[in-house]
């Protein structure tokens, strides 16, 4: 082969390799789908017999199902704060939901500005970040998602919203606290960026469509999508399209929640299809979870076999449906029984993006990729801790200590009693003392809350206990 021909062949080979490089070296897309108030018994693949969720079932079967997945708090806002920072929210005072009923003007409520969020870590890596849905981390201008690392926002700033209005086609619902089944207007405005828009779609459907549009806009570069669904949080609103799927469910409240979960499942399926249709399935890691357990008080949700509910630190309040999938990277059909946390998402996503963990920030989550790919088998955490005012808990291995102020302090063996029905502290006093000391040591490194709590009575094991929110 002469030099000219060899040079031409080398040029063609180099061009061919260069053409393949973007696909081979591209940083993966990262997607979080966060449900709201979804209990362990509200989803088919985690035991909800009445609720059909085939899309989430497929996502779970195609990756890793975490049977012992936890969130950092039993209510919405602190749970989100921990997820987006990878840190215990008690490190920076975001311990409670806003205490004021008129929280929009509560001066001290919002994710502290000194805390760095996941999209802020991803921006220097070339990521476009979008949030669709619920924010609930502050409504003042400096707390807006576009000021906290996100490039796009479509959703609402508050903690709950109406899924439908009187203008929404085929809407149906049950009366809320004000006695309205379907209101004339949503309680929080829908924003595109910082501009209010008129949104007539059923809200879960709208969030699905907006998420797919975001993927389509940024399919040629790495993106981070945070789909913060408000489903299945109160109020109980659905449409005939979803209601009609559950004629066999006789309890009206349960039927509406099943319909809301079906809309959430359809939204998840729409996002997954858009990823596949865009040829991005092997370049996209998807995590699905809930922000806390079902509140139960609405008579619609279920936490399966678990004791407690939203607001409590029993399993029903903090143990949630949790799954991760990444075609070609995470083997399908895996089940992980080690305790993991929503705080693990940030360091896992950073590792997936090829970024080192920040050296100057104390992260409390860990990179789960070795566990997800099968390269590691050991538990990723020595222990997990919770605190919200009087509510305290710690889990180490099979043991869990739950306390509610001075009212009680109970120890459970989750390996034999996942429903937390039998207090074994009298049988294992040394374990009880060890876990209490561990919690005290952890607590000594946290700071005081930045704003006070509200309180709510929640029934647990037929007891009425007052928990801080």
**Choice among 45, 76, 311, 404 that is catalytic:** 76
Tokens 């949503």 map to which residue?
186
Closest to 172 in 3D by CA, of 243, 229, 121, 226 = 243
Classify residue 408 by burial, with Cβ atoms within 10 Å: 0-12, 13-18, 19+: middle
126: left (phi over 0), alpha (psi -120 to 50) or beta: left
**Choice among 45, 73, 94, 136 that is catalytic:** 136
The number of beta carbons lying within 10 Å of the beta carbon of residue 15 is: 10
- C-alpha distance from residue 376 to each of 336, 344, 368, 383 (Å): 11, 15, 9, 18
Asked if 79 and 291 touch (Cβ cutoff 8 Å), the reply is yes
How far separated are the first and last CA of the chain, in Å rounded?
Answer: 77
Q: Which two tokens stand for residue 435?
A: 């876990």
Closest to 306 in 3D by CA, of 215, 218, 414, 396 = 414
Q: Which two tokens stand for residue 66?
A: 């975490």
Q: From the DSSP assignment, how many helices (H) and strands (E) are in the chain?
A: 11, 20
d(Cα 294, Cα 365) in Å, to the nearest integer?
24
Q: Give strand pairing partners of 237.
A: 173
Classify residue 372 by burial, with Cβ atoms within 10 Å: 0-12, 13-18, 19+: buried
Asked if 101 and 197 touch (Cβ cutoff 8 Å), the reply is no
Q: Would you call 76 a catalytic residue per the annotation?
A: yes
The SS3 of residue 59 is helix
Q: Give residue 254's Cα distance to chain centre.
A: 22
Q: Which two tokens stand for residue 322?
A: 């949790």
Classify residue 12 by burial, with Cβ atoms within 10 Å: 0-12, 13-18, 19+: exposed
Q: Would you call 212 a catalytic residue per the annotation?
A: no
- C-alpha distance from residue 121 to each of 84, 86, 236, 362, 467 (Å): 10, 11, 36, 14, 34
d(Cα 102, Cα 100) in Å, to the nearest integer?
5
Handedness of CA 107, 363, 285, 335 (dihedral sign): negative
Q: Which of the residues are catalytic?
A: 76, 136
């Amino acid at each position: 082969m002469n030099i000219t021909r060899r040079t031409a062949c080398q040029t063609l080979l180099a061009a061919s390799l260069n053409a393949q490089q973007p696909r081979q070296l591209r940083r993966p897309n990262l997607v979080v789908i966060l449900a709201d108030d979804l209990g362990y018994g509200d989803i088919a693949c985690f035991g909800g017999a009445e609720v059909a969720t085939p899309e989430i079932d497929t996502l779970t079967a195609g990756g890793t199902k975490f049977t012992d997945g936890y969130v950092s708090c039993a209510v919405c806002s602190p749970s989100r704060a921990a997820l987006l920072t990878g840190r215990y929210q008690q490190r920076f005072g975001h311990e409670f939901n806003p205490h004021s009923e008129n929280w929009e003007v509560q001066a001290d409520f919002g994710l502290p500005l000194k805390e760095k969020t996941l999209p802020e870590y991803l921006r220097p890596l070339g990521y476009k970040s979008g949030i669709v849905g619920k924010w609930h981390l502050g409504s003042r201008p400096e707390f807006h998602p576009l000021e906290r690392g996100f490039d796009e926002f479509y959703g609402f700033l508050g903690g709950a919203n109406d899924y439908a209005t009187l203008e929404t086609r085929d809407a149906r619902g049950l009366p809320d606290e004000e006695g309205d089944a379907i209101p004339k207007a949503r309680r929080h405005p829908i924003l595109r960026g910082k501009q209010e828009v008129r949104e007539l779609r059923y809200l879960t459907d709208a969030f699905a469509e907006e998420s797919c549009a975001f993927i389509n806009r940024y399919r040629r570069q790495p993106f981070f999508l945070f789909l913060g669904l408000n489903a299945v949080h109160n109020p109980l609103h659905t449409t005939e399209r979803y209601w009609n799927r559950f004629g066999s469910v006789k309890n009206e409240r349960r039927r509406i929640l099943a319909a809301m979960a079906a809309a959430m499942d359809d939204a998840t399926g729409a996002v997954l299809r858009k990823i596949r249709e865009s040829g991005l399935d092997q370049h996209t890691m998807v995590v699905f979870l809930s922000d806390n357990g079902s509140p139960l008080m609405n008579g619609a949700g279920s936490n399966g076999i678990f004791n407690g509910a939203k607001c409590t630190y029993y399993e029903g309040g903090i143990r949630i449906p949790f799954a991760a999938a990444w075609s070609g990277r995470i083997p399908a059909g895996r089940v992980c029984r080690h305790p993991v946390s929503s705080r693990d998402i940030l360091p896992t996503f950073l590792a997936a993006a090829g970024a080192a963990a920040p050296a100057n920030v104390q992260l409390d989550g860990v990179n789960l990729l070795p566990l997800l790919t099968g390269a590691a088998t050991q538990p990723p955490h020595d222990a997990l801790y919770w605190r919200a005012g009087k509510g305290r808990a710690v889990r180490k291995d099979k043991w869990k200590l739950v306390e509610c102020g001075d009212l009680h302090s109970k120890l459970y063996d989750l390996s034999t009693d996942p429903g937390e029905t039998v207090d074994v502290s009298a049988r294992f006093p040394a374990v009880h003392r060890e876990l209490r000391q561990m919690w005290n040591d952890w607590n000594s490194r946290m700071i005081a809350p930045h704003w006070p709590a509200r309180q709510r009575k929640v029934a647990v094991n037929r007891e009425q206990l007052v928990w801080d929110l």
